[in-house]
Amino acid sequence: MYQSFIGLEIHIQLATQTKIFCGCKAAFGDEPNSNICPVCMGYPGVLPVLNQEAMRMAYVVARTLNCTLSPRSVFERKNYFYPDLPKNYQISQYEHPLGRDGFVDIEFHKKKRRVRIHEVHLEEDAGKMIHAGDMSLLDYNRAGTPLLEIVTEPDLEVGEEAEVLLQQFRRMVRYLGVCDGNMEEGSMRCDANVSVNLSGGGLGNKVEIKNLNSSRFVRKALNFEISRQKDILERGGTVVQETRLWNENRDVSEPMRTKESAHDYRYFPEPDLPPFITDDAFLLEVEKGLVELPAARRTRFIDEYGLSELQAEFLIDERSTAEFFEHTIALGADPQSAASWLASDVKKLLNRRGESIESSVLNPERFAELLRLLDEGRIHGKIAKQVLEEVFVSDASPAAIIKAKGWEQITDPAELSEYIDAVLKANPNAVEQVRAGDAKPVGFLVGQVMKATSGRAEPQLLQELISSRLAVKVIHVLSFGGAISGVRREDGLIGPGELFDLRTEFAGDTGLPAELRLEEIQLGAFLSEEIAPADWAVLISEIARRIEDSEAAGIVVAHGTDTLSYTASLLYWFFGKARIPIVLTASSVPNDSERGSAKPRSEAVANISAAVKRAASGAPGVGVVYGAQEFAPLNLKFERVEEGAARAGVFRTWNEIGGDSNPAHLPAPIYPAAGVEPTDRKAVQTALENAMSRCFIVKAFPGMRGDHLITLMKNGVRYFVLELYDTGTASVRETPYSLRAALQYGAANGVSFFCTSQQEAMVDFADYVTSHELWREGAIPMGRLTTESAFTRLIVAQLGSEDELEVQRIMEDQ
Amino acid sequence: MLTFWKNVLENSPDAYEKAVRARDARIGSFLEFNPTRHLGNAPGEVASAEKHAVLAGLPFGVKDNIAVDGFRLSCGSRILENFNSPYHATAVQRLIDAGAVPVGKTNLDEFGMGSSTDNSALGSTTNPWNEDYVVGGSSGGSAAAVAAGLVPFALGSDTGGSVRQPASFCGVYGLKPTYGTVSRFGLVAYASSLDVIGAISTDLDVLQAVYEVISGADPFDQTSMDPVPSASHDADAAGVASLGYRGKSPCLGVLKPEQLELSAEVAETYQTCLEGFRSLGYEVKEVSLSMLEYVAPVYYTIATAEASANLARYNGVRYGLRPDYAENPEELVRLSRDQGFGAEVKLRILLGTYVLRSGFQDQYYLRAQKIRTAIRTDFEASFGEVDMILTPTFPRQAFRHGGEDMSPFEQKQADKFTASANLAGIPALSFPAGVPKGLPVGMQLLAPAFGEPRLLAAARDYATLYKPELAPGYERPAGEQ
Ligand SMILES: [Zn+2]
């Protein structure tokens, strides 16, 4: 077993107005050699004058990284010849850096780690040399800009951790306002050192890697380097201590062909600058520069506003977004809807227009007003989207736009009632039918009112008013025709059928409310084990449409038992936040009872009856009813038990997610962040089929051959749900009969492994060496989620994004 | 004489220029001379101009390692031969503000490295007292120009004695102020922790005025400061005769002449000088500066270390000498430095690079810093007992051109009296004390930090006994009718 050690050297250009030792503008992208003067050009006779602002920013960063701040920090000369370094020495810090012994906490795939900061020191940047043909050109605009170097201890283990640290660091410096953290443009740079050794052998020979221009390259380069060194050691070789450059075109590191590694920098204290002594006034300025950091803000957003991790993560990513959000909340907006609008429609619009939130015409006041109009029902969702777009176009307030465009809904019950009265009067037959127990004409009547109001009636209010005027409650029962509606054929086998007539079945059921009006909708006729993406697409689009048009007060889905745990969790990820109840139920045996006979009611009838009751009176959102029991939609496991001569099925919830039926305890649903319009059946079907083609469920077993999974990957599988043993263990031994080859191939090709357990166990990769190896290879623990729930989440996550890292983020946010 | 100097540029600039050129054809003190280039610049700070009215109108020479806008800044080196300064050094700016006029740039040992000015790559300067002899260095051009009556004063730089030693060789006054009291902004660095801009003159009033004008904190030099008289010598005041100083006789520390390895002429003059002070009422007390023998090695370790970094910027890339063609940037740098620097400069860069090597710093650079601290402590202890210390400026008189009289190594060792003041950061003044066998001998007074007024007062006292002579043939200022 090998251990790897990674340390980083991060450089950031401090965003000061002027350079560190002269009055030149510290700006980028200007005409070459336009921001220069005798001091930063190293003319004879000039002297450096320390920029106090650079010093303040440097101490703020050191303080934020929990460093011990030096009361006296000393500049030194680092001597080396390079044409882009005007003085041929760099003023830097060596023996007495401004900050030491700090730390930063990171987390990758559930594993938390404290990375020690060795030191933080301030120095001047060099210019840029460009080779053009047989010429070498020099631009000194950058020479003398303040550069802060942060050196970590070799506390990181894998490239992904370095990537996480860099992303976190980038966000930190942006929050502090000391750097824009742009790695591509070089305002933030990173060098790394890597060593690999046998476990327990301490650090190995250190290899430095340079030219890492993005956090993604850092990850790739480090993982490449770790396996390169491992290979050398495995072959009995010795790793050469050297500096290597990452070649981003070839995805390999190459030895740097120069004698530069033999540098002797001949440091000595800079005689032109006295030591910097911190006084109380300066330290006070440093304290003033501290801000609430992204990690703390994320936790606070989750706790204070009840946001999901993913929502909080999105909001805190940029300080300006977080502040916009909080400003909006302070104006009385609902945190949930503010967060989801910002993450979806607002973000889309800003991206499309290439604007940033702080520079756009959408200010928190306008945004809060839009949410208020929506909340008060004065506009509905579709109109709200149009209003938002119009804010950007006409630079006006939402209220003014609604007025000008005549988009305001009729939300006054009295006004709406007048329209309803007229429609009911004009359609006595339909009214009579409903009173007699038929649900179908309700939809017709709703449509008539909509027509009369030119579509301005607020749909939910309209639904409520008509229902109460007619004294009915409409529940739609959607059926796939599984066993619950199936038939026992002549040969004794159970086959799919059409849902029986519920009105007849429920005729004697006194437990059902009198105002109940059921509408049965047959979506298919097959057993639940036969379900295909097209069927799910139908189900999803039918439910979505009913929610949007307020056609029903509740929805019941009559399903089979075999795949109920998939469909239930799938619907939850989509509709977990719906404002009406969506209740799934199932039966493993068909309704054998003789119609109207006195025989005890079948399981199918009993379950549907319970589901209808739950839909008519229960809480909004997705639930499951089976055998007179209510279940949360996640982590369901169907089990068969022998009950005397009869076989019966039971459902059980693993890991007790939301065991107390409190939806607040469930991981947050993903829709409406998903990118597909759920009412669009065709689009949903295509998206589901694409998603399905990219993922696969695999169960670990003794002697499993990793190369079989490679075959799957070669055939387009990008995501695995990997069902491991216990808390996340499996064989990763150096043998074809383990997961190792598959994990390594996957890591190299960007394939994700989301790990669940074959047992009722929480997967966190704790405790075992094999678990840690899995973590090292990049496998992602799914915590409490079962294989079924993780799988459907993976499907929905893919609808939200094609980007694999984004999918990973969604999967990890539970 | 001062009256002549104050009006010469206004009344007869052409005659003046002509006279200077004629005289300088023999001694070669100026590398560049143009008395009218900065003429007519209105004094900037009126207050300063009024306070130091003595300087108004005076022409002055500037050592060519101190920046004067509009003049070259060659440092006596091929590598900067054609480099024009785009700015004024702070000291120069302050003198201009006080009404003085920079008229030219004086010759020096390349980058201030030498004791003869013979290390200049751009000109040869000779001693006005005897053309066979060197003028001293490295501010040799400045000392020669003053001694030959070309300017009433000149600026020099003093890293290990570069103002005082040539002043001594030429029979004029040379002041090295306390480290940090004069801004180094515009002084081309040789050894930054030792360098200080100083002044050379035949007139103590002018010297004092120049010191007062150029001293004081400068925002462009963070190591600069206002002179802060400490409690022990707060009774010092400019212009107060030191007799009766602090209500009692001033006390002068002297060294045992037999331990100083002096030439007979210098030893004799030293003896005469301290007798003279005694006769003026000064108390004379023997002090032992036990660290004196380490001064030269410590000085050369620290100075060359800093020089190796300070001179790294001259690489032909942004300015200065560069070859017509180079294969690549590295070769350009190598050729520029090879062709641009003289032998002494290369020697010192190599020495400095050597003492800073990792693994050798403990043995050389860091050790030298420790001894430097001990030297400073040594002086502090002595100044607890005496007010000033009197030493010869240099162990011998001017030597002849070429290495016959004194090898470069002997020249370096002889820096110990002057370099000790640079290592300790304290002020020192070289004053003329005699002209045995036709060549001047200077004596040096050292005082605690910020003790410049005390040094000037003592020099004034001594001038009542010995009036400095001017070089034969140069008794009258250039251009005086
Ligand atoms: Zn500049």
Q: A116 with A188, same domain?
A: yes
Cβ distance A7 to A152 under 8 Å?
yes
Query: What tokens does A683 get?
Result: 């689009």
Tokens read off for B59 = 């022409």
Burial class (CB in 10 A: 0-12, 13-18, 19+), B142: buried
In the reported structure, the alpha carbon of residue A376 is separated from the centroid of ligand 1 by a whole-number distance in angstroms of 59
User: Among partner residues B67, B317, B365, which is closest to A268 by beta-carbon distance?
Assistant: B365
Q: What is the separation, in whole angstroms, between the first and last Cα of chain B?
A: 12
**A381 CB within 8 Å of a chain B CB:** no
- Cβ atoms of residues A224 and A231 within 8 Å: no
Identify whether A280 is part of a domain.
no
Same domain, A605 and A688: no
Which pLDDT value is given to residue A701? 95
Domain boundary among the residues A405, A422, A455 is at A405
Instruction: Write out the two tokens for A113.
Output: 């780690």
Long-range pairs for B234-238: beta carbons < 8 A, 24 or more residues apart? B236/B451, B236/B453, B236/B454, B236/B457, B237/B453, B238/B208, B238/B212, B238/B453, B238/B456
In a domain, A669, yes or no: no
In a domain, residue A657? The reply is yes
Which residue among A86, A266, A274 sits closest to B318, beta carbon to beta carbon?
A86
Q: Which of B130, B108, B138, B115 is CA-nearest to residue B29?
A: B108
* Radius of gyration (C-alpha) of chain A in whole angstroms: 32
Contact yes or no for B313 and A86 at CB 8 A: yes
**Worst-scoring range by mean pLDDT, A183-197, A548-562, B118-132, B309-323?**
A548-562
CB B391 within 8 A of CB B421: no
- The strand pairing partners of B416, in sequence order, are none
Tell me, yes or no, if B6 is annotated catalytic.
Answer: no
Whether A214 is covered by a domain: the verdict is no
What are the pLDDT tens digits along chain B (481 aa)? Answer: 888 999 999 889 999 999 999 999 999 999 999 999 988 765 554 455 566 788 999 999 999 999 999 999 999 999 999 999 999 999 999 999 999 999 999 999 999 999 999 999 999 999 999 999 999 989 999 999 999 999 999 999 999 999 999 999 999 999 999 999 999 999 999 999 999 999 999 999 999 999 999 999 999 999 999 998 654 444 444 333 444 455 567 899 999 877 788 999 999 999 999 999 999 999 999 998 888 999 999 999 999 999 999 999 999 999 999 998 998 889 999 999 999 999 999 999 999 999 999 889 889 999 999 999 999 999 999 999 999 999 999 999 999 998 788 888 888 889 999 999 999 999 999 999 999 999 999 999 999 999 999 999 999 999 999 999 889 999 999 988 7
Distance, C-alpha A187 to centroid of its chain: 27
Tell me the shortest Cα–Cα distance from B333 to chain A, in angstroms.
8
Active site residue B63: yes
Question: Contact A379/A407 with Cβ under 8 angstroms?
Answer: yes
Distance A126 CA to ligand 1 centre (A): 12
Closest-CA distance, B125 to chain A, in angstroms, reads 23
CB atoms < 10 A from the CB of B363, how many?
12
Torsion of CA A112, A118, A119, A123, to 10 degrees: -100
- A79 and A185 housed in the same domain: yes
Contact B313 A272 (CB under 8 A): no
Structural tokens at position B96: 């201009």
Whether B226 contacts B449, CB under 8 Å: no
- For chain B, the farthest-separated pair of C-alpha atoms sits apart, in whole angstroms, at 72
User: Is A416 found in the same domain as A401?
Assistant: no
Examine residue A667 and state whether it is found in any structural domain, yes or no. no
CA distance B142 to B105: 8
Task: Kindly state whether residues A635 and A761 are assigned to the same domain.
Answer: no
pLDDT at A43 over 80: yes
Instruction: Give the mean model confidence (pLDDT) for residues A60-87.
Output: 96
Q: The pTM is what?
A: 0.84
| Segments in A235-279 forming alpha helices (H) | none
* Residue count of chain A: 814
8 A C-beta contact, residue A447 and residue A528 = no
State the CB neighbour count (10 A cutoff) for residue A293: 16
Helix (H) or strand (E) holding A648: strand A646-653
pLDDT surpasses 70 at A665 = no
Domain that holds residue A327: 294-405
Considering the domain architecture, whether residues A24 and A129 belong to the same structural domain is answered as yes
Residues A502 and A545 reside in one and the same domain: yes
Strands B388-392 and B153-158, how do they pair?
unpaired
Say if A290 is an interface residue toward chain B (CB within 8 Å). no
Q: Indicate whether A114 and A16 sit together in one domain.
A: yes
* Dihedral pair phi/psi, residue A723, rounded to 5°: -90, 110
Rounded Cα distance between B101 and A674, Å, is 79
Domain presence at residue A397: yes
* Same domain assignment for residues A39 and A59: yes
- Mean per-residue pLDDT, A599-606: 71
Catalytic residue among B77, B85, B138, B420: B138
Q: Is B18 a catalytic residue?
A: no
User: What pLDDT does B50 receive?
Assistant: 63
C-alpha to C-alpha distances, A254 to A210, A228, A245, A263, B33, nearest whole angstrom: 10, 11, 5, 19, 58
State whether A457 and A392 are in the same domain. no
- Decide which of A175, A192, A209 is a domain's last residue: A192
**Does some domain include residue A135?**
yes
Dihedral in degrees, nearest 10, Cα atoms B87, B90, B94, B97: 20
Contact criterion met (CB below 8 Å) for A490 and A460: no
Res A662: pLDDT? 52
Instruction: Please check whether residues A654 and A586 belong to one and the same domain.
Output: yes
Kindly state the average pLDDT of the residues A408-425: 88
Closest CA to B144 of B58, B104, B136: B136
DSSP assignment of A2-49: EEEEEEEEEEEE---SB-SSSSSB--SSSSTT-S--TTTTT-TT----
Closest CA to A675 of A788, A795, A577: A795
Strands A75-79 and A268-269: antiparallel
**CB-side neighbour CA atoms (13 Å) of B468:** 29
* Of A333, A393, A406, A400, the residue nearest A367 (C-alpha): A333
User: Quick one: A338 and A481 in the same domain?
Assistant: no
Distance CA B34, CA A268 (A): 40
Residue A425, domain CATH = 1.10.10.410
- Going from the C-alpha of A613 to that of each of A49, A436, A512, the distances in angstroms are 79, 20, 7
- How far apart are alpha carbons A73 and A50 in whole angstroms? 12
Q: Give the C-alpha separation, B20 to A512, whole Å.
A: 122
Specify the CATH number for the domain of residue A613. Answer: 3.40.50.1170
Task: For residue A200, tell me if it sits in a domain.
Answer: no
Domains in chain B, please, with CATH?
Answer: 2-235+426-463 (3.90.1300.10)
- C-alpha distance from A36 to closest chain B C-alpha (Å): 12
Cα of A39 to ligand 1 centre, how many Å? Answer: 5
Give me B82's structure tokens.
């054609």
Q: What is the DSSP letter of B292?
A: G
How many structural domains is chain A composed of? 5
Cα distance between residue A628 and residue A606, in whole Å: 8
* Domain boundary residue, one of A192, A223, A248: A192
CA distance A332 to B364: 71
Residue A620 sits at φ, ψ, to 5 deg, of: -65, 165
